[in-house]
Amino acid sequence: MSKPQYLGELLLYWCPSCNVPVLGKECSCGKTTKHVTVTPPGDIRPAFKYEIDLINSVALEQFNAPLITDDRLVVLNKSPYDDRMDEIIVDGEVLGNIRFEIEHLRWALLLRINGARRIFDLSDRNSLKNWVLIDKGAEKFILGGASVLAPGVSDADPHILEMDEVVVLSSEGKVLAAGRARMNGSLMLERGKGVAVKVRLKEAPADITVPEGGRTWKDAVAANEGYLHDFVDRSHKFIRNVASSVDRPATVSYSGGKDSLAVLHLVDECLDGYELLFADTGIEFPETVQNASDVARHYGKPLRTISSGEAFWESVDNFGPPSVEVRWCCKVCKLGPIAQLINDNYEGGCLTFIGQRKYESGARAKSESVWKNPWVGNQVAAAPIQNWTAMHVWLYIFKHDLPYNPMYENGFDRIGCWLCPSCSLADLIRLKETHPDMEKRLNDCLLSYAERMGLSEEWVKHGFWRWKKLPPQLQEIAKKKGINLVPTSSGPGKLNFCVTSGYRPCKQGGISAEGAFDAAIDLEKLEDVGMLNAVGKAAYMEGVVSLLRGEDRVQVFASGTVTARSDTDRKARSLMSKVEFSIRRALLCSGCGVCVGKCPNKVTRLRKGIAVVGNGCTHCGVCIEACPVVKFNS
């Protein structure tokens, strides 16, 4: 599970008088607000109807009662987790977390104590599910941090299943704790031995007061007028200063997302002469493409656009599915086309305002507000909303009634390429409901790849294709379910290889080259013959080899994917070539012995008719250049 990152000030407060979220210590009504403690980075946002309905549907499934019973403003805060997880804030209180659990492929509602009270203290227990009533004598032990033991259970819902989320009630029926069942309800009622409930949160019973609802987001806009004015004023000054100091035509990079929409309106309030840039990657939501046209028409500005068409689908067989570590698709479908779009329309280059915010990631938090784009030489980029949270953006959009992308109301909290490996599995599964044809095309592609690589349907189903090397928590899930993660080699064959390179757009780290063989690679054989030593210092782990050559780094994955990172495009591509050739040597060696005679350090030898590079290699690469396999099979 990823750790919380402090990327900026946690800006969620709540006005108890107006019952709305506020971005500071004082509401526009003049009343002092209370601070709401949320998990960093605290990129808070409004919940739309779909998300509220989802929360309630999960609450009904788990507890037979909704969590949010009437019209209330609901704020969500994305929290670190293996997949998608949001804190649910209502009436200035965190009522719980809703998260998508990859192991079970389902949503789960993890109630906080206040959330549990809203359901259990205000309803008839006989109509509810997943509750455990404990003896009075056990209460002090639970409050002291103990789990609920089976002998301390006086009553329970008999339909509880092991690992269900449950609410623990005092002997008087008041909420005492929340946690997960470690045995089913029938066993609990037998009051035998063992842990009945692993307690996650506990608190002494207390009365609950629910404030009046009925507030709207227009009310929230009014409550935040002062804070919005200050942030907008600073952004306006930034835009005017940058536009006056950079002698290039002004443009706005419009992605179809909320952030670029806010930037567009800010620029429109400051400048007259600007144009819109839109790069259609070919894997955008159709609603996004339509929204770009609608927005350009709304503002009456030219829309400079370029489409990558079927480039992704024409390349995926060569490179394999994109992953968090290997986003070849950004270079093929986005970066190259954007560079072409700018070169075709702005001879002397352009200034582009973009919707980058520091609360989105650690890399963006460290980014300058104005910079020269490293992958488009004649573009200067500027970020007017660098210090805004998502809530600032949405309140600004609501205030001006801006035409935002309808996909936000369909449960997607980020708008971009719909099959991005950085998407949550929850979003990819949601596609089955919103865009079934698109989801089927992706799933068919992944299943075909999995079959070719000797991987299972479960590997696809659980979204493991999104990583070349799974995070530890997901490795545990795969191990528990018996899902193989290492592709199996289908034999040497021709070993066709494709490569692309360029600036890493999603992470800091200079220039990367990304390539892929059209077959899985036998990493055990690579380690046995030591051919990669000719390139750099190699470290072998399950499913991946890491190579270090000075400050440069290469990773070779069992799937056949190779990544190289350096400080220039030329060095990254050169490194990639050396690795490609070394892999060919290892898998196609004929035992001719040419490399043995060429090795200046005498560490290359023949063993059972195969060349082997031993310890003491200085990574000079002479053996690579001499190998006939490289000359005739590349």
pLDDT at residue 508, rounded to an integer: 44
102 Cβ neighbours under 8 A, 6+ residues apart: 82, 83, 425, 462, 463, 474, 477
Poorest-pLDDT segment among 16-30, 316-330, 524-538? 316-330
Which helix (H) or strand (E) covers residue 517, if one does? strand 511-517
Residue 276: C-alpha distances to residues 139, 285, 400, 401, 606 (Å): 63, 19, 19, 20, 62
Whether 487 has a pLDDT exceeding 50, the answer reads yes
Q: Where are the alpha helices (DSSP H) in 214-369?
A: 217-223, 225-245, 258-270, 286-299, 311-319, 328-330, 336-345, 362-366
pLDDT at 598: 85
Q: CA 86 to CA 80: how far, in whole Å? A: 9
Q: Residue 86: its pLDDT value, please?
A: 97
Residue with tokens 């070349």, as numbered in its chain = 468
Q: Which amino acid is at 620?
A: C
Secondary structure (3-state) at 40: coil
Look at residue 505 and tell me whether its pLDDT is greater than 60: no
Stretch among 9-18, 114-123, 370-379 having the lowest mean pLDDT: 370-379
pLDDT at 75: 98
Q: Are strands 165-169 and 131-134 parallel, antiparallel or unpaired?
A: parallel
pLDDT at residue 633, as a whole number: 52
Burial 533-565 (b: 16+ CB within 10 A, else e): bbbbebeeeebbbbbebeebbbbbbbbbbbbbb
* pLDDT given for residue 509 in this prediction: 47
The residue that leads in pLDDT, 502 or 407, is 407
Stretch 454-476: mean pLDDT: 95
- Report the distance separating Cα 441 and Cα 438, nearest Å: 5
| Residue type, position 47, single letter | A
pLDDT at 10 over 80: no
Q: What is the rounded average pLDDT of the residues 100-122?
A: 95
**C-alpha angle 460-465-470 in degrees, rounded to nearest 5:** 120
pLDDT digits (tens, 9 = 90+) for 292-335: 999 999 999 999 999 999 999 998 987 889 999 888 888 788 87
How far apart (Å, rounded) are the C-alpha atoms in residues 489 and 521?
5
Comparing CA positions, the residue from 277, 267, 265 lying closest to residue 303 is: 277
Average confidence (pLDDT) over 232-258: 96
Q: What integer best gives the mean pLDDT of the chain?
A: 91
Condensed to tens digits (0 to 9), the pLDDT of residues 537-574 reads 999 988 899 999 988 999 999 888 998 888 888 888 88
**Structural domains of the chain, with CATH:** 224-407 (3.40.50.620), 497-633 (3.30.310.10)
Q: What is the DSSP string of 122-148?
A: TS-GGG--SEEEE-HHHHHHHHTTPPE
